[in-house]
Amino acid sequence: MSDQLAPKNNPEIGIHNRIHFGKYEGTTFNNLLSLDPFYLTWVVDEVEWLKITDEAFNKLQEGSILGKFWSMPFGNYNGRKLHWILKNDLSYFVWIVDGLLPVYPNIELSEDLLEEYELAIENAGDMGHQSYNDISFSF
């Protein structure tokens, strides 16, 4: 059943099964983990009738690393690369780091993107911001 839709009477999804509902209908679990780990994590947590295999659960728990060229799958910058967002809207990127990633502890930024982020925060301080908190959103 690896490249088929999981049947509705047994909605257990493995890493090679296609999701048969929602905005990513027809996408395999594995591809969705790369494409939009936020959505996949939310679906697994919130859709009570959905069952995933142990292999899929372990893969989800291993986490996802978002690199410079990962595209934002929602929001103001839907389709934009993280690198572009960092260079063009630092406050939005701070929201991603401070507001979004803490909700999804299995998702993190790549080392090179973290380094660029830290440098951007440093440069923002040099441009008149007193501290990192000056450009952070408060929650």
Task: Determine the Cα angle at 70 with ends 23 and 42, to 5°.
Answer: 40
pLDDT in tens, 59-89: 998 888 999 999 999 899 999 999 999 999 9
The answer to whether residue 2 scores a pLDDT higher than 80 is: no
The residue ranking higher by pLDDT, 103 or 131, is: 103
Q: What mean pLDDT is predicted for residues 98-108?
A: 91
What is the b/e burial string over 100-129, where b = at least 16 CB atoms within 10 angstroms of the residue's CB?
ebeebeebebeeebeebbeebbeebeeeee
- Residues 123, 102 within the same domain: yes
pLDDT in tens, 41-65: 998 889 888 899 999 999 998 888 9
Give the residue from 62, 84, 100 where a domain finishes.
62
Give the residue from 36, 62, 88 where a domain finishes.
62
Q: What mean pLDDT is predicted for residues 6-12?
A: 59
- Residues 102, 122 within the same domain: yes
If you average pLDDT over every residue of the chain, what do you get?
A: 84
- Residues 8, 46 within the same domain: yes
Both tokens of residue 132?
């990192």
Q: What mean pLDDT is predicted for residues 103-112?
A: 92
